[in-house]
Amino acid sequence: MSTTKDKLHKGQPVLGGWIMTGNPAVAEIMAGEGFDFLGVDMEHTPTSVDGFYHIALAAKGTGCDIIARLPACDPVLAKQVLDAGAAGIIVPSVNTPAEAAQSVAMAKFPPDGIRGASLCRASGFGARFTEYFQHHNRDVVVVVMLEHIAAVKNADAILATPGVDAVLIGPYDLSASMGLAGQLQHPDVLAAQQAILDACQRRNIPPGIHVVPVDADEVQRRIRQGFRFIACGIDTLFVREGCRAMLKGVR
């Protein structure tokens, strides 16, 4: 079982980096720094399946789980990234129980799902096929993103879906769906986030959120608030903040 899934099952916080650049060297550096997982963003970047494949290769042996944030609830793309070695998938814009069920099904082999089997990289190109097939449905991580006001209203029904391992709130999209784009501290946006957190706690599903700024204190605050699946920063912001810190110190 992956570090991410094991910690989620134990109720421990899981900390992940976020890859927007699609650069394998950046992913390799971040994977070696102690993150439990790296979320590779394929929704808002040009990162392709081929790009994801090379990121997965770069992180091999680091102990860091590579999880694909898909551009949509797409069974074909889910199969391709899992074949390439993804430890799991993050599915955006899950607004209904049916979309949550599809997210689980496309990540798992029959009889629990619809993922096709092959002699792919994830199974050692067939060398570990039997072991991989037997344990994959138990091990794969399925995270659904609740990032629309419609998802807030359907949260309890969505989280009743068997096989959902965690929820990730998309704070920017959630605020945009409420006509409050980018106003993350608006009382209505905070109330919507709290409604999702409350639903997760009722359903015993680990709640997650993306702490976008490079801010360890905010990550700690979110952990105290009850969040357990936390994306920390973005690779581009780590680079920018490092540049700013050095230049500020020199000038």
What's the rounded Cα separation, in Å, for the pair 207 and 230? 8
pLDDT at position 164 over 80: yes
Average pLDDT on 55-62 reads 96
| Predicted confidence band of residue 6 (pLDDT cuts 50, 70, 90) | very high
Helix, strand, coil % (nearest 5) of the chain? 45, 15, 35
Q: Would you list the domain boundaries of the chain?
A: 3-250
| Average pLDDT of every residue of the chain | 96
What's the rounded Cα separation, in Å, for the pair 123 and 131? 8
Predicted confidence at residue 251, as pLDDT, reads: 79
Q: What is the pLDDT of residues 215-231, one digit of tens each?
A: 999 999 999 999 999 99
Please, how many CA atoms are within 13 Å of residue 188, restricted to the half-sphere of its CB? Answer: 12
Q: Which residues are catalytic?
A: 44
Say which CATH superfamily domain 3-250 falls into. Phosphoenolpyruvate-binding domains (3.20.20.60)
